[in-house]
Amino acid sequence: MSKDSSNTYLDHKEVVPILIGLMLGLFLAALDQTIVATAIRTIGDDLKGLSIQAWATTAYLITSTITTPLYGKLSDIFGRKPLFIWAISIFIVGSALSAFAVSMYQLAVFRAIQGLGAGGLFTLALAIIGDIVPPRQRPKYQGYFIAVFGSSSVLGPIVGGFLAGQESILGLTGWRWVFFVNVPVGLIALVVVGKTLHIPNFQRVNHAIDWWGALSLTTGLVPLLIVAQEGRNWGWTSSNSIICYVIGIISLLLFVYFENRMHDEALLPLRLFKDKTFSLIAVVGVITGAGMFGGLAILPLYLQIVGGASPTRAGLELLPLTIGIMTGSIFSGRTISKLGKYKMLPVAGTIILTISLLLMTSFRADTSYWWIAILSYAFGVGLGGVLQPTVIAVQNAVEVRDLGVATSSVTLFRQLGATIGTAAFISILFGSVGNETQDAFSAATSQPEYIKALSDPANAQTVSLLNTAQNSPNGFDDTSWLTTANQTLIRPILEGFANSMSLVFLIGGIVVAFSIIFAVLLPDNKLKERGQSAAPAAD
């Protein structure tokens, strides 16, 4: 066992048993992120709320985002192990409740409970590795985490698609098992973590918990997410929208005030921003988080709605994306371990992300899958080049006493971007699909083949559903009928969705492009070796 004045690091044999427990806990969080993606279209259709599906995602992201830094603080007081067990337990409860949701809004509430647990799983795992492994050795062990994310990324879309594609399993609708499957996996994780997770020489640090900061951040985010979702119906300058803007902005200003007043005990200590590396990665995290979820939320919908893929097939078609994430992450870890530097990776990653999103604007209703697969893989490689290096860079830059809060802050910024991005991009999609579809219908009605299909008595039911989709504000809350409808008649809807999704990819690409600037400005600090103390703040 190697010791220094500021930390205690373990040898490989001592790390392995701990690592097993961490990997099982991470598997829960990682699987949930990917297993829902291919099932969300089926869930939205069944609960008659596809256009408001963002609530099920953002509710989860909000609670996991807010609790992420709280877990860092609380684990300093009560220990990493009790908090990790608590996080798994809450996650199991939220998963079980989500499996029995009867509306999209109820699912959002239960997903919020799930997020309360998820906020601690990834952050505490990284913090524990930071406790017991020196910075330069962390990429090797975080490579195991990447393997967990890689396997769950491969299994998640396939399993999620398979479950969503089943009408019933043991008396439950197929998609409900997407959440219920977490229960047995979580129970196994609890047993293993309880037996293996032991951190020697843990030093308790008493903290004042920044509850006011957490409350003000929550009341700042929620109104802004509400207006992002409902603004297209209310009007962006309506009284309801303005009220949300005002509440959100005032609450975020209060958040900054509370953080400044709490000093080192703040949810997000403002002094960390004195470090150039931390500040720049915070910005990169918010921007790439938004763009990342723009792609991750839209791609499964494109494959199923526009491409006509079943949930199971869509899961298989997402494999290039997950393989790309694995490729980028493994390459990043090995490069950092070999060179001891990291800057070139987030720079390359943000460039690849931007290019792939912009090229995705070429997706149309008849785009060949090979082109979709190539861009999905490139998108994944870009993500892999950003996610791991940014965590390592921050851990390397801060002092040991800030390791937990700094690690959780990286996740916090990424989740903030993801929360806002998901709500905004889903709102943009369903806010524009009506007009895009109307334009496509207008063009189609001049074509003899389309006129013939409209007048065919065999298509009467499809024509009725088309009229509902065109004239109802909630016409696209259930798209399940598209899979069996006359393909000629629904062509304008497919074109409308494809054009709207291209708009989302374009905006996502423009947003992510700004992260390149901040990645280029990152200091290229050399990573510390075993036994070295924390690096000073970068100039």
Strands 8-9 vs 2-3: parallel, antiparallel or unpaired: antiparallel
pTM for the full predicted model? 0.81
Residue 114 in this model has a pLDDT that exceeds 90: yes
The whole-number pLDDT of residue 533 equals 46
The whole-number pLDDT of residue 472 equals 61
Say yes or no: 71 and 189 in one domain. Answer: yes
The whole-number pLDDT of residue 168 equals 86
307: CATH: 1.20.1250.20
Cα–Cα distance for residue pair 416/454, rounded to 1 Å: 46
525 closest CA partner among 273, 269, 281: 281
Higher pLDDT, 539 or 122: 122
Residue at 419 is within a domain: yes
Residue at 532 is within a domain: no
The whole-number pLDDT of residue 515 equals 93
Residue at 262 is within a domain: yes
Residue 288 in this model has a pLDDT that exceeds 70: yes
The whole-number pLDDT of residue 6 equals 45
Residue at 526 is within a domain: no
Residue at 457 is within a domain: yes
Residue at 530 is within a domain: no
Say yes or no: 126 and 9 in one domain. Answer: yes
Residue 536 in this model has a pLDDT that exceeds 50: no
Share of the chain above pLDDT 90, in %: 23
> What's the pLDDT band for 284 if we cut at 50, 70, 90?
very high
Tell me how many domains the chain contains.
3
Share of the chain above pLDDT 70, in %: 90
Q: Please name every residue paired with 2 in a beta bridge, in sequence order, or none if there are none.
A: 9
Four-CA torsion 54, 59, 60, 64, nearest 10 degrees = 130
What is the residue-wise DSSP string for 392-442?
Answer: HHHHHHS-GGGHHHHHHHHHHHHHHHHHHHHHHHHHHHHHHHHHHHHHHHH
Report helix, strand or coil for 3: strand
Say yes or no: 262 and 276 in one domain. Answer: no
Higher pLDDT, 282 or 458: 282
Residue at 23 is within a domain: yes
- State mean pLDDT over 410-430: 83
The whole-number pLDDT of residue 8 equals 59
Summarize pLDDT for 12-48 with one digit per residue, the tens. Answer: 677 777 787 788 888 887 787 778 878 888 998 899 8
C-beta neighbour count of 185 within 10 angstroms: 18
Residue at 533 is within a domain: no
Summarize pLDDT for 91-103 with one digit per residue, the tens. Answer: 999 999 999 999 9
Say yes or no: 126 and 192 in one domain. Answer: yes
Alpha carbon 166 to chain centroid distance?
Answer: 25
Say yes or no: 218 and 302 in one domain. Answer: no
Say yes or no: 262 and 278 in one domain. Answer: no
- State mean pLDDT over 285-303: 85
Say yes or no: 443 and 425 in one domain. Answer: no
Say yes or no: 76 and 112 in one domain. Answer: yes
* Terminal C-alpha separation, the chain: 33
| Residue 506 structural domain | 2-210+267-434+501-520
- 251, 266, 281 — which closes off a domain? 266
Say yes or no: 102 and 172 in one domain. Answer: yes
Say yes or no: 186 and 171 in one domain. Answer: yes
- State mean pLDDT over 372-392: 89
The whole-number pLDDT of residue 336 equals 81
Say yes or no: 101 and 126 in one domain. Answer: yes
Q: Are 67 and 412 in contact (CB under 8 A)?
A: no
The whole-number pLDDT of residue 367 equals 93
Say yes or no: 283 and 418 in one domain. Answer: yes
